[in-house]
Structure 1
Amino acid sequence: MSGLREDKGFVENRIYKKKFPRYKMRNAFHGTKFAFIFVIILVVIVLSSSWAYSSITSQRNTRENLSDNYDATANHVVINEVYYDVKSGYSEPQCEWIELYNPTSSEVNISGWILTDNPYFNTTRYEGYWVFPSGTKIAAGGYILIVHDATYKGQFSELFPGVTPDFDTNTSNSIPDVSIEGNLQMANTGDDIHLFDSSKNEIDVMWYGNGGDMGSTNAAKDVSEGHSLARYYNAEDTDNPSHNFYDESSPTPRAQNTQSIPELNAFFILVVAASIVVIVRLFKKKH
């Protein structure tokens, strides 16, 4: 019996030695396959990173490709949020409003500055505009909120309780007034809003929907009734509203907007996460 066991062991050993090169080749093949897949995943990550970086860089460089007419000047106050398609059951244009924001570190005097939907304000006047009274200033990091009629049937207070506008156009209430000329009313299908300083230099501009006088190119997307168009709170101003504004379902008058531009593209994050999962599974399988 012992001889049979020895013979059997000898045969098994012969079989193992005979098959061992195959196992070795198979392990080598799996190792090569693992390395190949790993390299492919790294290439995908690099390409995705490059694409995400290019997308962000393109947005930040948009200003350089635009006309000087739409370039921001010094003391760059921005049109920060626009509420133009009023919630159902409330009145237009009475409840419409525009918010300005000062992102700089210094107070800005906007006495005599003008809000209008006329891009040619510096040459002619044929549409409505609002002029800020003497002594109007925006603190560093501060806001200015202008409502058409802040006290009309108490509607603004119902829509935005606790918010006190800085200005409106109703001379019969206690809210300070902007000087008005013509009819500055924002169309629900699209319009353009311009901010000029007292010397009629254009400081900022935004347009949405069909874009009004600016046209639909680079226009911010038209929003649903009761929503606002709000500037990303960490956005550089590229004067490209399609990049700088988003649909805000809960408008934030006289307060910081809620969304920021992501520094990494969502698709890139998804690719990286999936790649890590694949690498981990392959590594476990190999070992």
Structure 2
Amino acid sequence: MKKRILRIIILLLLVGAVFYFNGGFEKLLKSPTVQAFGDLIVDFHTVGPIFNLTNMKPGDSETKPIDVTNNGSVSRIIAARGTRTGGIGLDPKIETVLNVTIKDGSTALYGPKSMTDFFSDSLSQDGILLNTINAGDHKTYNFLVEFPTSANNLYQAKSVTADLSFGTITGNNVVFNEVYYIDTKKKTRFKYQWIELYNPTRQDIRLKNWTITDNSRTTVIRSDKKIKAGGFALLSDDGTVWKLWNEPKNSLKIKVVKKFGNGLDVDGDHVVLKNSSGIEVDRMSWGNDISGFTPPAVNPKAALGHSTERQTPGFDTDAASDWVDRNPPTPGN
């Protein structure tokens, strides 16, 4: 009996392996309504133009739910773009009177604004900012188009078609992502301080001769190591600190020659990151030091044993609101 069960299991494994290596799962999961935009998996629930608006009457509306999944390993700021792909009718075109609203649940993220403005706003560098989706999570965005009841007969027999695309907003250089400066061990608190950098770009970046400056002095990164695209680097002046944390095993760890400044000031300090050419690429601060943001603002002092962390890796508006108190700290994530 056991041998028979074993044969059946082996047979199933073999069949499964053949199915897998012939692209079975990929074909099974593939849908004509689903598209990938980098780490994002987007289900439009329709094939062809997302909106094909014709013969609309005053008071009519149409809603399209779009499911977006963050298939990456870090949180992402989501952005959308709308593109006019066709339509019928002379000026004034129907999109000048149609209103567009984008919602996440009951929360309006955009609009109501005219569809003409929607197309125009989509042309900006980052498209239309929606909100954040954490790694592995998904959200349903509802795109609502309304024909106002106040519209007149100028728009009869006119139409417009439109498509949507999605992407993520990232920075263009390495940034500070998390700072741990207030350890529970007061006597040796400088020893256990660490800084996490994040590379939101699409290329690996060499960190040799980059510098970190606080309110007292400058620390130089002497190690000739690269931070990978979409990766993290953990910096400390004592390698034993990582025995206290559960960071990913493959994390890039860089030991700096001296502690940051004269030790990061718990009550208030700032850090400035410069590349090997001496060009400033990022800065931030906390506590009673407000110099790390534009305009100057307070990033509250972290609680004992907590860190201060960027809300979304790589998303930098130079504002204190980019940062949160993180408990527990998450080095390398």
Alpha-carbon separation, structure 1, partners of 2:193 and 2:204:
26
Mapped contact 1:88–1:225 kept (Cα < 8 A): no
Alpha-carbon separation, structure 2, partners of 1:161 and 1:214:
27
The corresponding residue for 1:232 is 311
Q: How does 1:98-117 map to 2 (within 5 A)?
A: 98-117=195-214
Q: How does 1:1-287 map to 2 (within 5 A)?
A: 75-88=172-185, 91-118=188-215, 127-133=216-222, 135-151=224-240, 156-160=242-246, 166-168=253-255, 178-180=256-258, 183-211=261-289, 217-233=296-312, 236-240=315-319, 242-255=320-333
Secondary structure (helix, strand or coil) at the match of 1:166 reads strand
Secondary structure (helix, strand or coil) at the match of 2:212 reads strand
Residue 301 of structure 2 aligns with an amino acid whose one-letter code is D
**Structure 1 147/189 Cα, relative in aligned 2: closer, same or farther at 3 Å?**
same
Q: CA deviation at 1:180?
A: 3.8
Alpha-carbon separation, structure 1, partners of 2:260 and 2:201:
31
TM (norm. structure 1) is 0.51
Residue 192 of structure 1 aligns with an amino acid whose one-letter code is H
Q: CA deviation at 1:108?
A: 1.1
Residue 275 of structure 2 aligns with an amino acid whose one-letter code is D
1:200-237 CA-partner distances (Å, limit 9, x unpaired): 11110000111166599323111100000011125621
Mapped contact 2:284–2:291 kept (Cα < 8 A): no
Higher percent of residues as strand = 2
Find the structure with the greater CA-based Rg. 1
Secondary structure (helix, strand or coil) at the match of 1:243 reads helix
Residue 186 of structure 1 aligns with an amino acid whose one-letter code is L
Q: Once superposed, what is the RMSD of the aligned Cα atoms?
A: 3.3
Residue 139 of structure 1 aligns with an amino acid whose one-letter code is K
The unaligned stretches of length 5 or more in structure 1 are 1-44, 55-59, 61-73, 119-126, 169-177, 256-287
Alpha-carbon separation, structure 2, partners of 1:107 and 1:161:
21
Give % identity: 32
Q: CA deviation at 1:89?
A: 6.7
1:164-205 CA-partner distances (Å, limit 9, x unpaired): 66122xxxxxxxxx3448844111111001101112111100
Mapped contact 2:205–2:228 kept (Cα < 8 A): yes
Mapped contact 1:129–1:184 kept (Cα < 8 A): no
Mapped contact 1:93–1:185 kept (Cα < 8 A): yes
Secondary structure (helix, strand or coil) at the match of 2:239 reads coil
Residue 273 of structure 2 aligns with an amino acid whose one-letter code is L
Residue 131 of structure 1 aligns with an amino acid whose one-letter code is V
**Runs of 4+ residues over 6 Å off in structure 1:** none
1:101-159 CA-partner distances (Å, limit 9, x unpaired): 001111112221001114xxxxxxxx3222122532110011111123222xxx64134
Mapped contact 2:190–2:259 kept (Cα < 8 A): no
Mapped contact 1:130–1:184 kept (Cα < 8 A): no
1:15-63 CA-partner distances (Å, limit 9, x unpaired): xxxxxxxxxxxxxxxxxxxxxxxxxxxxxx9xx967x769xxxxx9xxx
The unaligned stretches of length 5 or more in structure 2 are 1-102, 112-125, 127-170
Alpha-carbon separation, structure 1, partners of 2:290 and 2:184:
22
Aligned residues, how many?
170
Mapped contact 1:113–1:197 kept (Cα < 8 A): yes
TM (norm. structure 2) is 0.44
Alpha-carbon separation, structure 1, partners of 2:264 and 2:209:
21
Alpha-carbon separation, structure 1, partners of 2:223 and 2:239:
21
Secondary structure (helix, strand or coil) at the match of 2:309 reads strand
Alpha-carbon separation, structure 2, partners of 1:235 and 1:183:
24
Secondary structure (helix, strand or coil) at the match of 2:196 reads strand
Alpha-carbon separation, structure 1, partners of 2:247 and 2:107:
44
Alpha-carbon separation, structure 2, partners of 1:207 and 1:100:
15
Alpha-carbon separation, structure 2, partners of 1:194 and 1:179:
17
1:231-256 CA-partner distances (Å, limit 9, x unpaired): 1125621111x21110101111111x
**Structure 1 206/221 Cα, relative in aligned 2: closer, same or farther at 3 Å?**
same
Secondary structure (helix, strand or coil) at the match of 1:157 reads helix
